[in-house]
Amino acid sequence: MKLIFPLCLMIILLSSFTYVNKDRIVIPAVLKSAIVYRSGAELHHMAKASLEKGNNDVVIEGVSNDVDLNSLQFGSDGGVTVMSVEFVTNYLKPAVKPTLVKKLEDSVEIVTRALSRLQVILKTDKDMLDLLNANKEIRGTQTGLSVAELVKMMEYYKTKTLELQNEITDYNERSVKLEELMAKLNDQLNEEKNKNTKTTGNLILQLFSPMSGSFNFTISYITKNASWNPYYDLFVESVNKPVRLIYRAKVAQSTGIDWQQVKLSLSTSTPNQQNTAPVFNGWFLGYINPKVQIRGFSSMTNSLSGNLALNEVVVSGYGSKSMYKREETEAEAAPVYIVNGNMMNKADFERIAPQSIADMNVLKDAAATAIYGSRAANGAIVVRLKDNMSDYISVADNELNMVYNIDLPYDMESNGKEQSVQLKESSVASVYKFYAAPKLDKEAYLLADIADWEQLNLIPGEANIIFEGTYVGKTMIDPNSTKDTLTLTLGRDKRVVVKRDKLVDVSSVKFLGSNKKQVFSYEITVKNNKKEKISMLLKDQYPLSTNKDIEVEVLETSGADVNQDLGILNWNIELAPGESKKYKLSYSVKYPKDKMVNVN
């Protein structure tokens, strides 16, 4: 009796919901394209409905579960007018069970039955073994058995016991494996079921139609439940070849609807940003407590520097609008089709997706026969197919953004998980050199200097480095710089050895009246253990003083290019295979002997 009231309440609620919607026209929204911003997305749907003349109540199902109503745009043909819009979350519509969930449930059922059968067999074998153990005691003359019969009986017990024990061991092992498989299946099933518990949204519209008929609708809106982040793959085969730069994006969405065969776009802009230009106010000075900053040589970060004020980059996906007409009248003789150098018939050619065609040329009869022989007497259609992702991308450079049109549709589940999307690929001419600052780091770094990098349309993001076929780490690409050359750090190379040793015999401490003078001397050794010649930028530094009581004097630099404002020494070195070179740095620091100075 306790279940009657909740059940009746549920029936009433469902009946009421059905009654409220009984006069409404319910139509599905089909997602066609999505522009994903760094935070948020703009979704574009299409729908179709038959309307009566006058007012119509329409429910459009299958939109995102989070809609910014301020961004909602509704379009239609035939002069249909939107009188009111209401957004509701649809909790009652049951989700369709995905095929994978059904397969997993079937697999769980099969494994469950197999486990049950094993348990029955195991119990039977264990009962038989217990029965044998209970009856194995033979009490001498009470058995009435001869010696031969007794030996035969004992042999039977031995054989049967061993057989049952082996079966029990085997079935236990099978049972363990099935239980492990069952656990994995249940984990996967739970994950897939969680994907299918999402809610969707409904748009409840009141429309006015000037006439009866079938009408097409377009719906677009902003939702916050999607995002993307750029990243790169950097391939360096050798220092004699250009850098292969692959642009990628990690895209995620949890809009409540699965994206299927959508035209995908990625944009670096963010919707709902404050778009008011800044205005100056009065700037009034006041006293502050100054902070003392000690000059030094900052550590080098794995980053790219450059200058690119890029407000928006859009990556659009899906099929090209250009279509190739593949019709011919019966009176026309069919030409041959040459696809990537291979001859094929019309039927095979028509199975090629239009967006896979890079270009197509038509050869007249004589020209076709001269190249392809008599089979091309009626002409030839020469087709080249796209062979990598870059072929599917056309780039449009607009005033405020970059647009990448991708001729491939995308599927993306509403699970919040990142999906990698390749945008484009570039081969970048680079000047390679090694960099070492042994005072800060005892290892040498390989750098790639890239000129005219502004043409690459880079976006700040993380990059994976693959050097000579091996993943060596990550770096950051940050194109926000005013430099003409973009410097890319490709990682460490242990085959280039750098050492910095303090020369104790040369270093000294002297007292001159009220002052103390210390001399510091260092020897830097660089060796090239690679099989090819290398170029290197070697750096070191000496301290600077802004205090008149502290005097710094540079004694030896081994011909370095000295930046006296920063105290930085630069050596541009060329090293042959197996060659090593040594460089010296020596300087003195004089200061009052009753003071302590950070000379180390």
| Assigned domain for 26 exists | no
- In whole angstroms, how far apart are CA 413 and each of 24, 44, 187, 256, 572? 30, 17, 19, 9, 53
Closest CA to 201 of 308, 107, 60: 60
Greatest mean pLDDT among 31-45, 279-293, 456-470 lies in 31-45
Domain membership of residue 545 as a residue range: 503-592
CB 492 within 8 A of CB 445: yes
CATH code for position 140: 1.10.287
Of 23 and 322, the one with more pLDDT: 23
Of 563 and 491, the one with more pLDDT: 563
User: How many domains does one find in the chain?
Assistant: 3
| Assigned domain for 16 exists | no
309/499 Cα distance (integer angstroms) = 41
| Assigned domain for 56 exists | no
CB 452 within 8 A of CB 483: no
Q: Summarize pLDDT for 506-537 with one digit per residue, the tens.
A: 777 787 778 888 899 999 999 999 988 999 99
| Assigned domain for 573 exists | yes
389/407 Cα distance (integer angstroms) = 9
Q: Tell me the pLDDT band of 93, cut-offs 50, 70 and 90.
A: low
For 74, phi then psi, to 5°, come to -130, 125
Any residues with CB less than 8 A from the CB of 524 and at least 6 apart, and which?
A: 438, 498, 499, 500, 501, 538, 540, 582, 583, 584, 585
| Assigned domain for 111 exists | yes
| Assigned domain for 12 exists | no
Give me the helix-helix angle, 147-195 and 99-134, nearest 10°.
160
3-state secondary structure of 377: coil
Q: Summarize pLDDT for 564-596 with one digit per residue, the tens.
A: 999 999 999 999 999 999 999 999 988 888 888
Residue 317: is its pLDDT beyond 50? no
| Assigned domain for 422 exists | no
pTM: 0.62
What value does the mean pLDDT of the chain take? Answer: 79
Q: Summarize pLDDT for 188-245 with one digit per residue, the tens.
A: 888 777 665 567 889 999 999 999 999 999 999 999 999 999 899 999 888 888 889 9
- In whole angstroms, how far apart are CA 54 and each of 61, 75, 153, 600? 22, 18, 97, 87
21/487 Cα distance (integer angstroms) = 63
Q: Tell me the pLDDT band of 104, cut-offs 50, 70 and 90.
A: confident
Structural domain ending residue among the three candidates 195, 219, 246: 195
Structural domain ending residue among the three candidates 139, 173, 195: 195
Structural domain ending residue among the three candidates 178, 195, 212: 195
Q: For the sheet with 401-406, list strands across it.
A: 312-316, 401-406, 393-397
Any residues with CB less than 8 A from the CB of 67 and at least 6 apart, and which?
A: 87, 201, 203, 221, 222, 223
| Assigned domain for 525 exists | yes
